[in-house]
Amino acid sequence: MELKKRFGKAVQRIRTAVDISQDELGSRIGGDQAYVSRIESGQQNLTLDKVDEIASALGVDVSEFFAKAGK
């Protein structure tokens, strides 16, 4: 599986674990539900700044995404 898809699945796992909807996460990062859906499905290419913004919005360290994406 390519990195964007693995990363997206990691975002999805963390987002659901902290009980935040796609719509809520989108609002927190300046996007919408469709944008978060594209991230989680691996269709959206992200900058490192946006990755950091997502981590902050979910209350986790950026490294959590990569630790989970590698599995």
**What pLDDT shows up at residue 68?**
61
Q: Is the pLDDT of residue 71 over 90?
A: no
Judged by phi (left if over 0) then psi (alpha if -120 to 50, else beta), residue 30 lies in: left
**What pLDDT shows up at residue 52?**
96
**What pLDDT shows up at residue 65?**
84
* DSSP letters for 14-59: HHHHTT--HHHHHHHTT--HHHHHHHHTT-----HHHHHHHHHHHT
5-57, pLDDT tens digit by residue? 999 999 999 999 999 999 999 999 999 999 999 999 999 999 999 999 999 99
What is this structure's pTM? Answer: 0.89
Q: Which domains does the chain have, with CATH numbers?
A: 3-69 (1.10.260.40)
